[in-house]
Amino acid sequence: MSRPKIRLHVEHPLSQGQTVDLSREQANYLFAVMRLSPGDEVALFNGRDGEWRARVADGSKRGGTLAVEEQTAPQQDPPDLWLLFAPIKKARTDFIVEKAAEMGAARILPVQTDFTNSERIRQDRLQAHAVEAAEQCGGTYVPTVEELRPLSAVLDAWPADRRLVFADEALVGAKRALAAAPDAAKWAILTGPEGGFSDAERTRLRGLPFVTPISLGPRILRADTAAVAALALWQAERGDWR
């Protein structure tokens, strides 16, 4: 089944015969930037109902409507994997969120660690990056980006049945691998900031029963590289690349 090239995330429920009203921003993108006309096709997804072919019914630079016709791809959810990461500089934090959405993280949790430099994040901007990444990579799922929370508080409230894979730079070069982690249905990955983890954090993490510390090889990776590498490693060994 051919799929329209332009993909748009909407909040609206999607099924045959639905009419989707466009926001001003969406109308501007479709009609001013992409220069679509009535009758042209757009692929829509809302994160729940798969991907649908829709046709422009009418449109101007300020608004418009799309008529939903048929499903072009089923809903595909990623494995139950969270990414916990310590935010770094703005552009590199944006990169981590974009890549995590592409790599199939189900939920993205920015965490403040002892050596996290950034004290605030723009959650709405990061969520918009996740939406854009899903639009671009053909995904039908958009991970939720949470507000920044202290790592210690996230660990205090940790659900015992979720295994946490801890990318521990102190294990650089070690053979300690993900394969050693017990089976689990729910997972999370934790990567640190440019300064790495503090001794106190490392001691606490290593002592928690749900934590598996792992090495990401013989080189120290930058924080943004480490997040992508850990996601790739997990998807290949435990996730949906198998």
Binding site for ligand SAH (CB under 6 A): 167-169, 171-172, 191-192, 194-197, 215-217, 219-221, 223, 226
Pairing state between β 64-73 and 19-21: antiparallel
Q: Which residue is nearest to ligand SAH (CB)?
A: 192
Specify the residue, 130 or 214, whose C-beta has the smaller distance to ligand SAH: 214
Specify the residue, 66 or 164, whose C-beta has the smaller distance to ligand SAH: 164
Q: C-beta of 224: minimal distance to ligand SAH in Å?
A: 9
Residue 188: how many other CB atoms lie within 10 Å: 25
Specify the residue, 7 or 99, whose C-beta has the smaller distance to ligand SAH: 99
CA distance 3 to 77: 19
Specify the residue, 34 or 170, whose C-beta has the smaller distance to ligand SAH: 170
Q: C-beta of 203: minimal distance to ligand SAH in Å?
A: 15
Q: C-beta of 142: minimal distance to ligand SAH in Å?
A: 25
Beta bridge partners of 170: none
Tokens of 33: 């930037």
Distance of CA 223 to the CA centre of its chain: 16
Residue 60: how many other CB atoms lie within 10 Å: 12
